[in-house]
A and B are shown apart, each in its own frame.
Chain A
Amino acid sequence: MKYLEAVRTLKGLKETADTTSVLIASSFQSEAWNLYIQAFYARQGVRAQVSHLPFGSLQQHARSTGLSDNKTLLLLAPWDFFPKWDWRMGYDQGLDSLDSILSTVEDNAAAILSCHPEGLLYVDAPVRPLFSQPEDELPIHAAIHQALNSAKCPKALCSAADIDLYLQTGQLLNGHQIGDAIDHYIRADDEFRLAGKKLIVTDLDNTLWAGVIGEDGPEGIAYQNHDRGYPHYLYQSLLKQLKASGALIAAVSKNDPDLAELPFVQGGMSLNKTDMVTITASYEAKSAQILALSEQLDLPTSSFVFVDDNPVELEEVRQALPDVEILHFKANAADLSRLLQCLLKHFPRSIHTQEDSDRTRLYQTRLKGQIHRPAQGSDLTKYLKSLNMTLKISERGSDDYQRALQLINKTNQFNLNGLRLTEDQLRSELASGAQLWTAELTDQHGSHGEVISCLIKGSRISHLVMSCRVLNRDAEYAFIHAIKTRQSDQSLNFDFQATERNTPMQKFIGAITDNGVLSVDNSVQEKLNKASSLFTVAFSHGS
């Protein structure tokens, strides 16, 4: 990659692109790599914020503070495994035995590679002469390559290096060599990601179709080849084609099972139920659903590609199952084109065989009769903090309650009791002293609008709803914490009633209340405090 090609690639990235933090872990100076690494991520539609280890501190970080908290790209040289090969070190008092050297290599490799790197680039640079016979080095090189081969990530090897430059500036590659090395890495990354993919796990709401089946109902979602359904129609028709050539398709959704299957059953979509290995719907973490699927199908998660529109769900899966390839579904043309292209690369079309046609049915048969085992998802605290979320809580009055009322009357899943309100009833409640609160959620990607609505009179909450678009961010906990604090910590009573559709609310109420009253248990208070710390919470007095 040429320098200006990298500049232009980065310039082409949209303002709204997803961002990610990447640590370049290297023992040599690597700041000149920044632009190329950013361009590499920009090709995937992601804006990378790049950081570096201080010069010469790779070993120290690998052994003390560790590298595993970061998405890490390793740029390695031979002396990262056998430090006496480093040109910047003087000669000392002789050499250890070969066994001892190989043990050092093994030890250093284990420390460095334990960070589960996003990728690694090995610069097979000339090493400082240590042996009278150059062939004596060979077992050490072989041990390094063996260690590198064990890393489960894209691996690129380049042999070009500039030792003069390294001695004078600490950089191991000149600008020309960096561009070539990045080309090697791009090819390695492509090959790694394309290898062995078998199953596409797709989200449903706002991915397979536009809209939320649990809120909008079967008539309110769109997947046809017109209007807002078009991106989803294209996506479905490609999945259908990939399935015909042997790819397996499964759906996971945080939903009620009957709701998730409804659009497949009623017909009209490009994909029908027989195209799917399975449609898994529950309120467990998606990583847990995917892991269960992996065990049931006896397929490694490294053969899975996961597609979802929700960055929080994608991050949850990325953290729990780092070898699952994750792809962000966005309905705009540029991002959709990138997604479709990526799927075509992962599942290249070939000559169809009878086995390809039968594969889905074979796996459907394997799934029958298997028992589902619940499991935990990822701890997303760190990621959620990085979103810089703000919850702006506003009291609504008789002239600005429309969005709050709409939420109450539209929401099914995160709904306290399923009770609807007319305008007259709401006005009457407000006139008799009830307070109507809404919360607007904003994060680094922008505003999600007003997502929570709550009607409270004294300490009694009669209506509480939240848009399911923002589930998994703990906004509901932070909101209740804020309301409780606002009410001078007096007890809160919830008019809760289970409905056929409010499973997420049932779990929430079960977690924070005792018999409908906000629990005073320490673990509940800790959960509320922890959730609150994820947000900047501000009260305002209406719009």
Chain B
Amino acid sequence: MTKSDIESILLEIFESLFPQVASEQLPQLKQTDIEQWDSMAQVNLIAAIEGEFDLVIDIDSASKLQSFDECVQYVHGQV
């Protein structure tokens, strides 16, 4: 799976979780940018990435995924 494929899938996941953010802003999104990215959204984000990419993300790694870009990098390193 190419990095571009991963970005495209993650973009769709982020759109579903953060519908209030404009699509073109999602690639730059960080957890600190919006209050909706709270601990519950983080749980849902991790579950979504695990579910879509057939991954198991350990707690330490999960806590470090705090931006769209970090998610892309992490998934790219795993698949």
Residues of A within 8 A of B (CB): 2-4, 7, 29, 31-32, 34-35, 162, 164-165, 168-169, 171, 174-176, 178-179
B51 lies within 8 A of A164 (CB): no
Majority SS of interface residues in chain A?
helix
Cross-interface CB contact of A31 among B13, B44, B50, cutoff 8 Å: B44
Query: Which single member of A29, A35, A174, A178 contacts B57 (CB below 8 Å)?
Result: A174
Q: Which residue of A lies closest to B58 (CB)?
A: A164
Nearest-neighbour CB distance to chain A for B69, whole angstroms, equals 20
Residue of A nearest to B57 (CB): A174
Q: Are A31 and B55 in contact (CB under 8 A)?
A: no
On chain A, the residues within 8 Å of B9 by CB distance are: 4
B63 nearest in chain A by CB position: A168
Q: How many angstroms between the C-alpha atoms of A228 and B1 in the bound complex?
A: 50
Partner of A174, one of B12, B16, B44, B56: B56
| A7 CA / B16 CA spacing, docked (Å) | 7
Residues of A within 8 A of B47 (CB): 3, 32, 171, 174-175, 178
Q: Is the CB of A175 within 8 A of B12?
A: no
The 6 closest A-B pairs by CB, nearest first: A175-B50, A175-B47, A175-B51, A32-B47, A3-B51, A3-B52
Contacts of B52 in A (CB 8 A): 2-4, 175
Pick from A31, A162, A174 the residue with the most CB of B within 10 Å: A174
From B12, B13, B51, B55, give the contact of A178 (CB < 8 A).
B51
Question: Are B59 and A31 within 8 A (Cβ)?
Answer: no
**Which residues of chain A have C-beta atoms less than 8 A from B43's C-beta?**
29, 31-32, 169, 171
> Cβ of A7: which chain B residues have Cβ within 8 Å of it?
12-13, 16
**Other-chain residue from B16, B46, B59 in contact with A175 (beta carbon distance below 8 A):** B46
Closest to B60 in A: A168
Question: What is the bound-complex CA distance between A287 and B13, given in angstroms?
Answer: 44
Query: Hey, which chain B residues are within 8 Å of A169, CB to CB?
Result: 43, 59
- In the complex, the answer to whether A176 meets B59 with C-beta atoms within 8 Å is no
Shortest CB–CB separation between residue A188 and chain B, in angstroms? 19
Candidate in B13, B16, B43, B51 with the most chain A CB atoms within 10 angstroms: B51
Contact with A along B34-51 (1 / 0, CB 8 A): 000000100110111111
* Docked complex Cα distance between A168 and B12 (Å): 28
Given known contacts A3-B51, A32-B47, A175-B47, A165 and B59 CB-to-CB distance under 8 angstroms: yes
A184 to nearest B CB, angstroms? Answer: 14
By a CB distance below 8 angstroms, the chain B residues around A4 are 9, 12-13, 16, 52
Q: Nearest CB to that of B47 among chain A residues?
A: A175
At the interface, yes or no: B54 with Cβ under 8 Å from chain A?
Answer: yes
Can you list 11 pairs linking A and B with CB atoms under 8 Å apart? A4-B13, A29-B43, A32-B44, A32-B47, A35-B44, A35-B48, A171-B47, A175-B47, A175-B50, A176-B51, A179-B51
Q: How far is the CB of B16 from chain A (nearest CB, A)?
A: 5
Complex formed: what's the CA distance from A101 to B62 in Å? 38
A31-B44, A32-B44, A175-B46 known; A2+B59 contact, CB < 8 A: no
Distance, CA A212 to CA B2, complexed state (A): 59
Say yes or no: A175 contacts B40, CB within 8 Å.
Answer: no
From residue A171, how far is it (CB to closest CB) to chain B in Å? 7
B59 partner residues in chain A, CB cutoff 8 A: 164-165, 168-169
Measured between beta carbons, the chain A residues less than 8 angstroms from B48 are 3, 35, 175
Known: A3-B13, A4-B13, A176-B51. 4 other contacts (CB 8 A): A3-B49, A4-B16, A35-B16, A171-B43
Complex: how many Å from CA A3 to CA B12? 10
Q: Is the CB of B50 within 8 A of A176?
A: yes
